[in-house]
A and B are shown apart, each in its own frame.
Chain A
């Protein structure tokens, strides 16, 4: 039922003689008012996304030439130039962050779900909430302190470390939620077949919860893919091509940041293009990962989880 429909039904009902008391009319009016308000709220929540996407398309599509994807950044005033190193660098940073963030987050989440009321679980849960609330620049400083300073140079590894720490609490709490949704009957079935507890966790519980966990991991990847602050003094950025993890590495958010702050029109235009590429990149990663982990069996009847 659309908004006008709801309003019309309410109006027609109130004018009918048959039985509608005053209280009922008031309830109906309140009901249709609420419906309208909720529709409006739902519409408004979409507005920022639509505006951003529109703005990016308008500002960014212009610079999306093939060279934009294949060329290195050009000095201001020089025509052409692209973000090839930024795209590659962002992919490397995402990979490094996932290598750190996913296993630790998954393990912690599994622990939280299986030992939910132990003292350690309570502490871990609380601290992981604190961690996920920390401003990302603080994690950047931390990564600088423990990786950059001892090693004496900015590096992709330091950037991946900072981003990985952002991922840990996101993945951990989501894993906990998803694992809790797996019915006890399923783990009991495994235990009754002779599975040890950790093996039940890994091969039954985790696998059943996997689609939800993948979604959560993708949200975490999307989140860190766009992080700029923790990279400022870890990955640092470079105008040159580099995939080495022990050297400074370029990243799309850093390039967007630098370009957008610059006084040059062509750089600022490229910042829009970079932002568009970043969003599409995240979208493509999620689609690929979803396809790779789609389970033929989990979705067969839908009865696996909500049994």
Chain B
């Protein structure tokens, strides 16, 4: 690969893709610092959880990785974010290509008001894929990966808005997976779901971790403990501590981490 963030060539793709590195990453909105000097290396595969109180910069960090805040008025940043060694914020980087390699799922499920099928193949269609058979294959594969196929295989022509909340959220995951991204960002994906639907999402993440690098923002500490391999704790825009999840929750090195996970603030 030569130019920044070329479209990945499926045949020649390196085995381990989806490595994300933040190097002294800082973000300001106007005069307010949202993130300061965050350095964090996320290895390919596995689940990394971002925890911290509201306003600590978790979502900003997540949205920095796919540059979703690019259009926000007054945003500035410093430092580097690298995806598989390529600079995400390089001016030559094509955000469309970047966002196909870094999928994202939001807090509120946001399917388009179209059919289930159309929702899943939005990304491939954007890339110019028109062959019906190929699109159907992609749809089935993505829905299977999102553990939704069995529930919707007879309802592909129905409106996506008729699915339940949990199904809609898994549909959004399938839609992101249809682009075959190396990284999947999830911004509190289960916070609007009931416990059963939450469990299904968590099981799904467990299965996906082998193929995709998953970065999940969550307010739910139990959820972070359940689904993630590594956890990063942010406070007031700074990275306080990052460690194996089991270790961070049982023997945190920082007193502030301990105070947060034992519920003394936040």
Contact = CB atoms under 8 A, between A and B. Distances in A.
Decide whether A and B are members of one complex. Answer: yes
B56 to A, nearest CB: 21
A193 B115 contact: no
Given A192-B104, A194-B97, A194-B99, A185 B110 contact: yes
B47 to A, nearest CB: 19
Given A300-B159, A300-B162, A304-B161, A193 B113 contact: no
A186 B113 CA distance: 9
B123 A189 contact: no
Contact of A196 (B68, B96, B110, B114): B96
A183 B110 CA distance: 9
Contacts of A188: 68, 106, 110
A298 B113 contact: yes
B160 A297 contact: yes
A114 to B, nearest CB: 10
B110 A301 contact: no
Contacts of A190: 112, 122
A189 B162 CA distance: 18
A303 interface: yes
A189 B97 contact: no
Contact of B159 (A193, A195, A197, A296): A296
Contacts of B106: 185, 188-189, 192
B110 A193 contact: no
Contacts of A199: 126
Contacts of A189: 106, 110-112, 172, 175
B179 A194 contact: yes
Nearest to A199: B126
A189 to B, nearest CB: 4
A307 interface: yes
Interface string B66-105: 1010010000000000000000000000011111100110
Contact of A301 (B71, B104, B108, B159): B159
B7 to A, nearest CB: 10
A191 B159 contact: no
A22 B111 CA distance: 55
Nearest to B185: A192
B176 interface: yes
A193 B122 contact: yes
Given A188-B68, A204-B112, A193 B175 contact: yes
B161 A194 contact: no
B123 A193 contact: yes
A193 B121 CA distance: 10
Nearest to A189: B110
A238 B49 CA distance: 75
A295 interface: yes
Contacts of A304: 113, 161
B100 A194 contact: yes
Contact of A192 (B99, B108, B158, B159): B99
A157 B111 CA distance: 43
Contacts of B110: 183, 185-186, 188-189, 307
Interface of B: 66, 68, 71, 95-100, 103-104, 106, 108, 110-115, 122-123, 126, 158-162, 172, 175-176, 179
5 contacts: A188-B68, A189-B112, A296-B159, A300-B159, A304-B113
Give the 7 A-B residue pairs with the shortest CB-CB distance, closest first. Answer: A300-B159, A192-B104, A304-B113, A185-B110, A194-B100, A301-B161, A297-B159
Interface of A: 183, 185-186, 188-197, 199, 204, 208, 295-298, 300-301, 303-304, 307
